[in-house]
Amino acid sequence: MVLLFLVISLYKEIVGPAMTFIIAAIILGTTGILEPNEILAGFANEQVAVIIMLLLLGDIYRNTSVLDIFFDLMFKSASSTKGFTARMMFVVAPMSAFLNNTPLVALMMPYVHNWSARNKVAVSQIMMPLSFAAILGGCATLIGTSTNLIVNGMVTDEHIFPNLPSIGIFEFSAVGVPMIFIGIAYMLFFGQKMIPERESVTNKFPEIKRKYIVEARIKEGSNLIGKTIAESGLRKLNGLNIFEILRNNIRMTAVPDDTILMEEDILLFLGNTDSIADFVNTKNGMTIPSVGMFARKKNTEILEIVISHNSSLNNKSLKSINLRAQYDATAIAIHRNGETLSGEINNTVLKSGDALLLLAGSYFDHRIKNNNDFYLISRIKEIRRLGVVKTLYLILGTVGVIALSALGIIKLFTGLLILISSLLLIKVARPKDLVSSIDYELALIIALSLALGTAMMKTGVAAIFADGIISVFRPFGEIGVLAGIYFITAILAAFITNKAAVAVIFPISINLAMELHTDVMPFILVVAFAAAANFMTPIGYQTNLMVYGPGGYKFKDYLKVGTPLTIIYMIVTIAILSIIYF
């Protein structure tokens, strides 16, 4: 009854996912199916802590923009949602075959979120393909996913089943590699179309509609010199539209695509706050003249202010005010309601009601105390430049932790704990930022889903399901039994986690192979594929859970998009294993 309630409530979103699991835990606890310590055990689970810490590490990367340059090289030319998705999936899947897919997704998530925001694409369109690409790649090798390693551990444990054949690192590739291409093709041509366009749960705030004018200068040696507007790609800047060029005190208000750019040209763009914030921190052959020394400061922030009615700044030009000396800030963009301003921003005479985007240093907050000249509307973006040493420590530390955990030298939990603690000590991250970044609802869902798995194992419901399904398929011979094993493993993995599904089904699968007097290897591999290649629910695989909240998904989104892919994976797996082994 609890399982039925879970499926219906999660699909229909009757009370929300977190409350659904809380109600389920209360029922299981009050009826004596689970003890209190069994309900709470998930909160002390190592994998839950690892997922939370990986998400925190991803937030550190997002706040410091360390990976943006690297990812920009790979994805900069992708101008459409499908183009970006294809490139991302074809990069992530091969990497996931040899790297742990959970930290890989954690590192990619901040960039994917920022790309969707810059390109005005619903983040839900990209987050699920990211998770699915990692799962597809992870299934292609023995070391690509922890599920395959767990199956291998059972194979090598002589106490469970002696004399089982060892699994080679590429034993999974015959099925896994073709499914990378099939899975990506499915997502690009069918799956992505079925994903509703939703914003992240962290991003549902009223959009700022104001359009600002920002000024950029083509610097010496820029790769833009000698190119036309069309060739330079300036028409395709994310959220920015060029409307004027200043050249030797001459204004060109109509800017055709064949206009040739020259050194020291001043270009005026119109854009929203987020687009300009990203533009400030992008290397694109242009500079914002007013930024100057602020480009070398370690910590700056982009703020939005509005000039007050009785401000002493009224009727003064930005050049004469000297915001740098007074407030440790500089104006990078201006908005005047109902007017299109022209000319250099520095010469603009301010009026009450003008909105400015400021690039502010660390002394700004202190200097605006008791200030009546303007009001602070919002803090748009923090720009943190770590310096070479701290940047190298962050990147090499992350790579080192992943490598050491993959080699079995340290636990991933221990490595992440040491890394994040040291990043706090050297002030790469701040305690208040980490606390505010924790997704408490996600932690609650994961922990209580583990409790549900315990209840299914403890009551024997999981074993009853397994025996019942497999008895139906047994009359159809080896191929039928393989299909039955895949089906029940996938269902159990979708609701009690893949590791628990392996624990339940693996012994049953090996016993069936022995009863049929056939090769045991396909019966080993089918359990691994069915448990790891799980796309049907957010519970089924940890990367699905990781993107669940940030992608703004609902439980039924996974059922709708992931079930066909799971069926395709099942058909391909059974077909290839049958050809190879029977």
Q: Does 565 have pLDDT greater than 80?
A: yes
The predicted model gives 101-128 an average pLDDT of 83
The predicted model gives 263-272 an average pLDDT of 86
Residue 275 in contact with residue 118, Cβ under 8 Å? yes
Residues 205-217 have pLDDT tens digits of: 444 456 888 888 8
- Let me know whether 132 and 22 are in one domain: yes
The predicted model gives 352-358 an average pLDDT of 88
Query: What's the pLDDT at 533?
Result: 94
3-state SS of 126-160?
A: HHHHHHHHHHHHHCCCCCCCHHHHHHHHHHHCCCC
The predicted model gives 518-532 an average pLDDT of 93
Instruction: Single out the residue of 12, 96, 50, 139 nearest to residue 534, CA to CA.
Output: 139
Residues 409-463 have pLDDT tens digits of: 888 789 989 999 999 998 888 887 787 777 777 678 767 877 876 787 788 776 7
Query: What's the pLDDT at 129?
Result: 96
Residue 142 in contact with residue 148, Cβ under 8 Å? yes
- Let me know whether 362 and 480 are in one domain: no
In a domain, 247, yes or no: no
Query: What's the pLDDT at 200?
Result: 54
428 — phi, psi (to 5°)?
-75, -35
What is the phi-psi region of residue 430: left when phi exceeds 0, alpha when psi lies from -120 to 50, beta otherwise? beta
Percent of the chain with pLDDT over 70: 90
Please tell me which of 270-274, 296-300, 339-343, 479-483 the model is most confident about, judged by mean pLDDT: 479-483
Task: Tell me what the pLDDT averaged over the chain comes to.
Answer: 83
Residues 131-189 have pLDDT tens digits of: 999 999 999 988 778 788 778 877 876 555 678 888 888 899 999 999 999 999 999 99
Greater confidence (188 vs 73) lies with 188
Query: What's the pLDDT at 160?
Result: 59
In a domain, 252, yes or no: no
Q: DSSP assignment of 433-451, as one string?
A: HHHHH--HHHHHHHHHHHH
The predicted model gives 510-539 an average pLDDT of 88
In a domain, 120, yes or no: yes
- Let me know whether 380 and 527 are in one domain: no
Q: Where are the beta strands (DSSP E) in 202-289?
A: 212-218, 240-247, 250-252, 266-271, 286-287
- Let me know whether 46 and 170 are in one domain: yes
Lowest mean pLDDT among 95-109, 132-146, 199-213, 541-555: 199-213
In a domain, 285, yes or no: no
- Let me know whether 109 and 37 are in one domain: yes
In a domain, 433, yes or no: no
- Let me know whether 86 and 188 are in one domain: yes
In a domain, 369, yes or no: yes
- CATH code of the domain covering residue 314: 3.30.70.1450
Query: What's the pLDDT at 417?
Result: 92
Domain-ending residue, one of 366, 396, 427: 427
The predicted model gives 518-540 an average pLDDT of 91
- Let me know whether 133 and 173 are in one domain: yes
Sign of torsion over alpha carbons 348, 354, 359, 363? positive
Residues 226-247 have pLDDT tens digits of: 999 888 878 767 678 888 888 8
Query: What's the pLDDT at 428?
Result: 84
The residue with tokens 């007013």 is 290
- Let me know whether 410 and 356 are in one domain: no
- Let me know whether 379 and 398 are in one domain: no
Say how many domains are in the chain. 3
* CA–CA distance, 64 with 107 (Å, rounded to integer): 12
147 — phi, psi (to 5°)?
-60, -45
Query: What's the pLDDT at 176?
Result: 96
334 — phi, psi (to 5°)?
-140, 145
In a domain, 418, yes or no: yes
- Let me know whether 149 and 91 are in one domain: yes
- Let me know whether 335 and 370 are in one domain: yes
Boundaries of domain holding 25: 2-202+440-581
In a domain, 530, yes or no: yes
- Let me know whether 380 and 521 are in one domain: no
The residue with tokens 């990209």 is 126
